[in-house]
A = this chain, B = another copy of it.
Amino acid sequence: MPKSKDSPDGSAGEQRRLQMVDIARLAGVSVSTVSRALNGSELVNAETRQRVAELARSLNYSINFGARNLRLQENKTVAVVVPYDAKSRQHISDPFFLSIVGSIADALTDRGYDMLLSRVDAERLDLASHWFDSGKAIGVILIGQWRQHDQLNDMAARKLPLVVWGGEMPQQLYCSVGGDNVLGGALATRHLLALGRRRIAFVGDARLPEVWLRQQGYQQALQHAGLQADPALELPAAFEPGVATGELREFFAARRDFDAVFCCSDVLALLSIQALRAAGRSVPGDVAVIGYDDMPLAAYCDPPLTTVHQPVAEAGAELVEALLGQLRGERAGPRTLPVYLKLRESAPNT
């Protein structure tokens, strides 16, 4: 038998949580009637319905969703999973990812869903399926695909309701939603070329699908301009500030044969600017810098960052819609959202 104490959660001496049976007794009706009344059923007398509803409200009664969901076999909770780097115990705290989480929170709230937020080892994204398997969530939204493209495909093959923020890759079985990374890379590069810059460094780890796509855009833009991408100017910097800082300082100290840098995140852009200045080069005078994401603080840095704007506000709604669509049985493909270049001082228009 469960605890027979009057306190369902073990806290001593608190009042027992109100249940339907309590309302029923006080209203002088059966629980069935209370249930119907509270759900606005037409089957119950309007006067009774009114009375029960009022009583429930005045007593501050809230329905027990666990019981309701069990009975109804339904659930309005979505798991949102943020990968983190378990090896370095370092958390993915990139402002951009956090913005996406906020955007998803809004979208879920608007649709009456709850959000279960958790972290998962970036090497074992497949563990995210646990939330679905255990019935705690009806599906999973994963923020970033990292290098686990295969794991994600497996998860989709196992019929896990899953949507991933990230880039669309060839032969992809799972549903992804993301910005147009190829376009973003091309926009940034074209702008730098238009400024007259010819030696453009690329900062980002192309093992990540999103970065790889941006690199494609970067290379395409160079080719279009009749230039050849120089692999020596491509630095596969990590996303974690702690790791990237050293890599960038070393890189910028070693070589000066470039006049622009395209970074695959605003944080990397910030770090690059610092490293460039440490190497005695000015931004944007000597080196123009373009970031990616347009994070909330991008406008308040010094210099304010020219950056590829990602559609954060739309992202949440798109991710949620994709997941709910999947649950309705729709066979939705990956979605690519538009991006644009936000001009500021780190690579100004002149």
Candidates B62, B66, B274; contact of A66 at CB < 8 Å = B66
Answer yes or no: A3 CB below 8 A from chain B CBs: yes
Please name all residues of chain B whose beta carbon is closer than 8 Å to the beta carbon of A14 when the two chains form the complex: 159
Q: Is the CB of B300 within 8 A of A302?
A: no
Q: Is the CB of B118 within 8 A of A11?
A: no
Answer yes or no: A161 CB below 8 A from chain B CBs: yes
Complex Cα distance A288/B115, Å? 42
Candidates B74, B77, B135; contact of A64 at CB < 8 Å = B135
- Residue-by-residue, is A135-155 near B (CB-CB < 8 Å gives 1, otherwise 0)? 110100000000000000000
Answer yes or no: A327 CB below 8 A from chain B CBs: yes
Stretch at the interface among A31-39, A98-106, A188-196, A332-340: A98-106
Number of interface residues of A (CB under 8 A): 68
Given A73-B2, A75-B66, A117-B115, do A274 and B300 touch, yes or no (CB 8 Å)? yes
Q: Is the CB of B135 within 8 A of A66?
A: yes
Answer yes or no: A51 CB below 8 A from chain B CBs: no
Complex Cα distance A138/B66, Å? 12
- Residue-by-residue, is A1-38 near B (CB-CB < 8 Å gives 1, otherwise 0)? 01100001111111101000000000000000000000
- Output the least CB separation between A277 and chain B (Å): 8
Answer yes or no: A254 CB below 8 A from chain B CBs: no
Answer yes or no: A70 CB below 8 A from chain B CBs: yes
Smallest CB gap from A19: residue in B: B135
- Output the least CB separation between A15 and chain B (Å): 7
Complex Cα distance A326/B60, Å? 22
Answer yes or no: A328 CB below 8 A from chain B CBs: yes
The 9 closest A-B CB pairs, nearest first, are A62-B133, A12-B329, A62-B134, A302-B302, A117-B117, A64-B135, A2-B73, A98-B98, A270-B300
Q: Is the CB of A327 within 8 A of B10?
A: yes
Interface residues of A in 52-71 (CB under 8 A from B): 60-67, 69-71
Smallest CB gap from A18: residue in B: B133
- Output the least CB separation between A72 and chain B (Å): 6
Q: Contacts A9-B138, A91-B102, A115-B116 given; 15 further ones with Cβ under 8 A? A: A9-B75, A15-B159, A63-B134, A64-B70, A66-B69, A67-B135, A80-B117, A93-B102, A98-B98, A105-B117, A114-B116, A115-B117, A115-B118, A270-B297, A302-B302
